[in-house]
């Protein structure tokens, strides 16, 4: 397994900084439908249009939530680059496979620990 080493720092720093900038742009998008809907007076309301706008607003809320989460992960990854812990799993401390970092530069976990995080907790009765 190939792993991250400090010689790749600038490559990953550039990837992460670019992604942080993209995500900040997404989160500042001025075309949010909710702002438009709240700021403009309405005439006759078509309930189908209103339902469509509400659905679009809900989708945008979900997308913004995902973008905010990814932004937080990318900023944390940049901090790990600075403190020298980048490329190590936050849970088990093992090196994260370089292929995984190349695909998801902000990932804080190795494949096994990520799997553990995604596994649903056992149901309690």
pLDDT for position 49: 72
Q: Is the pLDDT of residue 99 over 90?
A: yes
* Tally of domains in the chain: 1
CA distances from 82 to 5, 10, 63, 73, 117 (A): 13, 11, 29, 14, 25
Residue 20 lies in a domain: yes
- For residue 100, give the CATH number of its domain: 1.20.120.910
* Mean pLDDT, residues 76-97 taken together: 97
Mean pLDDT of 105-113: 97
pLDDT of residue 52: 72
Helical segments of 6-46, H only: 9-27, 33-39
**pLDDT tens-digit profile of 18-52?**
999 999 988 886 454 344 344 454 555 677 776 77
Report if residue 124 sits inside a domain. Answer: no
Instruction: Give me the domain span that covers residue 106.
Output: 6-118
Segment 3-15 shows an average pLDDT of 96
90 lies in some domain:
yes
Task: Please tell me whether the overall predicted TM-score, pTM, comes out greater than 0.75 for this model.
Answer: no
């Amino acid at each position: 397994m190939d792993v991250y080493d400090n010689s790749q720092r600038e490559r990953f720093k550039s990837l992460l900084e670019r992604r942080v900038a993209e995500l900040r742009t997404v989160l500042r998008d001025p075309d949010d439908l909710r702002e438009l809907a709240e700021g403009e007076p309405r005439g006759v309301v078509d309930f189908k249009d209103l339902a469509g706008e509400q659905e679009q607003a809900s989708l945008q809320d979900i997308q913004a939530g995902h973008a905010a989460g990814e932004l937080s992960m990318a900023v944390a990854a940049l901090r790990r680059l600075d403190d020298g812990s980048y490329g190590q799993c936050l849970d088990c401390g093992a090196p994260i496979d370089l292929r995984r970092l190349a695909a998801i530069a902000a990932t804080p976990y190795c494949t096994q620990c990520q799997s553990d995080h995604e596994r649903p907790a056992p149901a309690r009765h």
